[in-house]
Amino acid sequence: QVQLVESGGGLVQPGGSLRLSCAASGIIFSLYTMGWYRQAPGKERELVAEIARDGSRSSADSVKGRFTISRDNGKYTVYLLMNSLKLEDTAVYYCRAWAAGAEYWGQGTQVTVSS
């Protein structure tokens, strides 16, 4: 059974930092591209950042220079380090794993940026 379990969300003030983690099980982690998505109330889910099998990364323009995605294949975990958080970063953050013919999602973790 495949599981993606996110953690690390919470309430933070503007300008603060959080690190999200997504622990995977039931897949050969190193074969999957991993990504972080987010969905704010009333908005569509959007890609935040992704990291491929070879470690290459991409991110949305709105988070460039502030958020960093990384992965630890030995721990079957992908991380999202979020710095300089803004009010508009408030959303539920989801982890996604995908490879040819397979896609899995986590249950999400809430990130709230508020003063």
Per-residue pLDDT tens digits for 2-51:
999 999 999 999 999 999 999 999 999 999 999 999 999 999 999 999 99
47-68 pLDDT tens trace: 999 999 999 999 999 999 999 9
**111: how many CB neighbours lie within 10 A of its CB?**
22
Distance between CA 31 and CA 79 in Å, rounded? 17
Which residue in this structure is represented by tokens 């992908």?
78
Mean pLDDT of 102-107: 97
Q: Which amino acid is at 92?
A: V
Indicate if the pLDDT at residue 105 is higher than 90: yes
Q: Are strands 10-12 and 109-113 parallel, antiparallel or unpaired?
A: parallel
Percent of the chain having pLDDT more than 70?
100
Strand ranges for the chain from DSSP E:
3-7, 10-12, 18-25, 33-39, 46-51, 57-59, 67-72, 77-82, 91-99, 102-105, 109-113
pLDDT at 63: 98
Confidence class of residue 100 from pLDDT cuts 50, 70 and 90?
A: confident
